[in-house]
Amino acid sequence: MQMDAGITATDAGVDGKSWNVVGHIYTPKLHSDNAMLWHAVIPADTFVPPHVHPTQDEWIYMLEGNMEVDFGYESGNVVAHKAGPGDMIQMPRGVAHGVFNRSGAEAKCLFGVAPSRKLFDLFIALDGVTDPAELVRLSALHEVDFLPPPADA
């Protein structure tokens, strides 16, 4: 899929789309084979559990509010990295990460992945899904692998 020339307006998504993924509102702003960008509204005290993108690099550019990204799941030494407006969070392919809004306030950011692979289709499939097992199943079919919960959970 080629990227179209033009502008995706502030209040619009690619092809008029917007998705509710576990309470986060994702609005796609760009979609091509090479990259996908989406605006995200992340409510206070919500998160995306630890997961891995084995085929994509991912990043988050913070617009408003504060979030944390936890790394270190592979070693068992998980460390939270805090980010605020203007900060760029890099999540290389194959590196497990969890994204958390522990700030007590809404956050807004721009996510991106490269290449886009199956993520656009994943968000279509996840729109409105609330069952965690179904979210994990659908994600695995679209090249996003969630980590199992810790043994003490």
Domains defined along the chain, listed by start: 18-144 (2.60.120.10)
Output the pLDDT for position 151. Answer: 58
| Mean pLDDT, residues 23-28 taken together | 96
pLDDT in tens, 93-130: 999 999 999 999 999 999 999 999 999 999 999 999 99
List the Cα angle 44/45/48 in 5-degree steps: 105
pLDDT in tens, 56-92: 999 999 999 999 999 999 999 999 999 999 999 999 9
Contacts of 35 (CB under 8 A, 6+ apart): 3, 112, 113, 114, 115, 116
